[in-house]
């Protein structure tokens, strides 16, 4: 059954909404939005999304919008899946909540952890649940430090991450992330977190070939390990493909060299699979796609296709065994929440039984790649990078020199994003990169629509950038 044939969700039955302007005013009065300049938004008014089906959103003005971001990289099976609604309702009726702290468990947590162990690489068979990706990465900070403590190496506390990584927004996970704007607010990073440069060849590769650059950026990890002292390093954390940083696909030389280094120094590798997991890259995990052997994988987002908040850490047998040797003084009220677990389990069934992950790898992913890469023929677009169903294009005033714009980073990107919105396409901008991460169920016809609308938006953005005198390269 195609998603367009699915029964309508409850949300679609809510009619007679108050006028948009009234909702916007009430929103502005009482609702503080994440990652938002509140006063600026209040002036403009938030767009109000009222329902969704498949890859399509509807707003309070009746526009239908192609969601090329799958919500926030999470609605992998698309909107409106009645099976997920029913899985939640069934579980709520039977057991809406029970904790997993005090020597108790329940069937949804048992079944979901078992299923995740089946899907994960062979050496990973245990799951610690959390309510989100941020929480799971906080778990990971404490878990890797506790691991080394229990192994008799308590001085191994340093965790190395990368600039422009995104690992969440709690104090711990935000510290792991490499977003300087986030660090500037609220006293981050916490002690013991160190950042190395990212493998972003387009922006930072200079005269090097992508492969030389990828190797050099991996070797920055070895340099950092030696600088800190190899006996003080607990772990390296990275997204197989950076997502929120702008879908930065590393050169092929990068991960093999990183793998060699973490192995050489015996440090733990945490693969943050929050975006890459559950089919996004065409395999169950981005680690498979990139050929990585992690000790811990962070999961969230596509785990439940966003229908319920849930995250977790999938842990290797070796780490689980060591951690299991003492009491781990850590947990969240909603660790292994039964409703979230039941929905995640049903979501995994859909991804598997409908062949969605396989289709991304063999059919729709390659189709999107071919179309998406054709955007480099547009005069505003430098490179296009895509793995499975996560991709980005770099906007540039001069392709040959890979120049940035003279204007502040993100000025032209924002302009382009606004044109996309006006053309009923949700595409995000990160600086002057435009990114896509559509629901994995997107059809070839919908991919065509995505590319048409993106092209039109690029045309309009470029005309506007020219009119505003923004097509000037920054001084080299």
Ligand X SMILES: *Cc1c(COP(=O)(O)O)cnc(C)c1O
Q: How many residues bind ligand X (CB under 6 A)?
A: 16
167 binds ligand X (CB under 6 A): yes
- Please list the residues that pair with 386 across neighbouring strands: 391
Work out whether 275 is an interface residue with ligand X (CB under 6 A): yes
* In the block, residue with structure tokens 């909540």: 97
Binding flag, residue 244, ligand X (CB under 6 A)? yes
- Residue number, 132 or 200, with CB nearest to ligand X: 132
Give the burial string for 416-453 (b: 16+ CB within 10 Å, else e).
Answer: bbebbeebbbbbbbbbbbbbbbbbbbbeeebbebbbeb
- Binders of ligand X in range 402-431 (CB under 6 A): none
Tell which one of 78, 121, 133, 172 touches ligand X (CB under 6 A).
Answer: 133
Q: Does 132 bind ligand X (CB under 6 A)?
A: yes
Q: Are 264 and 408 in contact (CB under 8 A)?
A: no
Under the binding rule (CB under 6 A), the answer on residue 166 touching ligand X is yes
Nearer to ligand X, 248 or 412 (CB): 248
For ligand X, what does the binding mask look like between residues 220 and 239, x meaning CB under 6 A? -------------------x
First to last CA, the chain: 54
Nearest residue (CB) to ligand X, 301 versus 337? 301
**Shortest gap between Cβ of 470 and ligand X (angstroms)?**
29
Classify 155 as helix, strand or coil: coil
For 104, the token pair is 């108790």
In terms of Cβ atoms closer than 10 Å to its own Cβ (0-12, 13-18, 19+), residue 12 is: middle
Q: How far is the CB of 322 from ligand X (least distance, A)?
A: 24
Separation CA 439–CA 71 (nearest Å): 8
Distance of closest approach, residue 245 Cβ to ligand X, in angstroms: 9
In this chain, which residue has its C-beta nearest to ligand X?
Answer: 133
Using rule CB under 6 A, residue 300 touches ligand X: yes
Cβ closest to ligand X, residue 133 vs residue 336: 133
Build a one-symbol-per-residue string for 307-326: x at contacts with ligand X by CB under 6 A, - elsewhere: ----x---------------
CB 311 within 8 A of CB 260: no
Query: How far is CA 469 from its chain centroid?
Result: 34
Distance CA 442, CA 450 (A): 10
Q: Identify which of residues 58 and 137 has a Cβ nearer to ligand X in the complex.
A: 137
Mask for 173-212, x = binds ligand X (CB under 6 A): ----------------------------------------
Q: Report if residue 243 touches ligand X, rule: CB under 6 A.
A: yes
The residue (of 60 and 304) whose beta carbon lies closer to ligand X is 304
Minimum distance from CB of 461 to ligand X (Å)? 25
Distance of CA 88 to the CA centre of its chain: 24
For residue 459, the SS3 value is helix
Interface residue with ligand X among 247, 274, 319, 451 (CB under 6 A) is: 274
Please say whether the beta carbons of 213 and 251 come within 8 A: yes
Q: Quick check: 134 binds ligand X (CB under 6 A)? A: yes
Backbone dihedral angles phi then psi of residue 128, each to the nearest 5 degrees: -110, 120
**Three-state SS at 77:** coil
Q: What is the DSSP letter of 253?
A: T
Q: H or E segment at 160?
A: strand 158-162
Spatial contact of 69 and 49, defined as CB atoms under 8 Å apart: no
- Residues in region 70-129 near ligand X by CB under 6 A: none
**In the complex, minimum distance from the CB of residue 354 to ligand X, in angstroms, rounded to a whole number:** 24
CB of 266 to ligand X, least distance (A): 25
Q: Of residues 168, 240, 338, 397, which one binds ligand X by CB under 6 A?
A: 168
Residues that bind ligand X (CB under 6 A): 132-134, 137, 166-168, 239, 243-244, 272, 274-275, 300-301, 311
């Amino acid at each position: 059954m195609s998603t367009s044939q699915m029964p309508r969700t409850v949300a679609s039955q809510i009619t007679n909404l108050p006028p948009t302007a009234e909702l916007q005013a009430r929103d502005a009065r009482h609702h503080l939005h994440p990652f938002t300049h509140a006063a600026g938004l209040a002036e403009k008014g938030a767009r109000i999304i009222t329902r969704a089906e498949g890859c399509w959103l509807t707003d309070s003005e009746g526009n239908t919008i192609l969601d090329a971001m799958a919500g926030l990289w999470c609605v992998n099976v698309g909107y409106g899946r009645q099976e997920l609604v029913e899985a939640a309702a069934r579980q709520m009726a039977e057991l809406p909540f029970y904790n997993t702290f005090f020597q108790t468990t329940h069937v949804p947590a048992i079944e979901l952890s078992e299923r995740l162990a089946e899907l994960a690489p062979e050496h990973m068979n245990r799951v610690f649940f959390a309510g989100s990706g941020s929480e799971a990465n906080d778990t990971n900070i404490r878990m890797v430090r506790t691991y080394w403590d229990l192994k008799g190496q308590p001085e191994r506390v340093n965790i190395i991450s990368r600039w422009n990584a995104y690992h969440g927004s709690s104090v711990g996970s935000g510290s792991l992330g490499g977003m300087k704007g986030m660090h500037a607010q609220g006293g981050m990073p916490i002690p013991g977190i160190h950042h190395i440069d990212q493998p972003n060849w387009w922006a930072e590769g200079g005269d090097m070939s992508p492969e030389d650059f990828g190797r050099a950026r991996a070797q920055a990890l070895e340099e950092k390990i030696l600088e800190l002292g190899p006996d003080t390093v607990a772990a390296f954390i990275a997204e197989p493909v950076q997502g929120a940083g702008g879908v930065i696909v590393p050169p092929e030389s990068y991960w093999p060299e990183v793998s060699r280094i973490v192995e050489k120094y015996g440090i733990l590798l945490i693969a943050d699979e929050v975006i890459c997991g559950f089919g996004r890259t065409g395999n169950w995990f981005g680690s498979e796609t990139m050929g990585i052997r992690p000790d811990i994988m962070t999961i969230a987002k596509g785990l439940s296709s966003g229908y319920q908040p849930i995250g977790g850490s999938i842990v290797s047998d070796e780490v689980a065994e060591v951690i299991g040797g003492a009491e781990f003084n850590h947990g969240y009220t909603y660790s292994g929440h039964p409703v979230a677990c039941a929905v995640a389990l049903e979501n995994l069934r859909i991804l598997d039984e409908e062949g969605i992950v396989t289709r991304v790898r063999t059919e729709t992913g390659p189709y999107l790649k071919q179309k998406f890469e054709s955007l480099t023929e547009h005069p505003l677009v430098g490179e296009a990078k895509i793995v499975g169903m996560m991709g980005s294009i770099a906007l540039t005033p001069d392709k040959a020199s890979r120049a940035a714009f003279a204007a502040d980073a993100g000025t032209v990107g924002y302009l382009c994003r606004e044109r996309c919105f006006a053309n009923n396409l949700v595409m995000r901008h990160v600086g002057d990169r435009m990114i896509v991460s559509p629901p994995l169920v997107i059809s070839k016809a919908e991919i065509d629509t995505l590319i048409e609308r993106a092209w039109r938006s690029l045309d309009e953005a470029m005309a506007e950038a020219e009119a505003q005198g923004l097509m000037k390269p920054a001084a080299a």
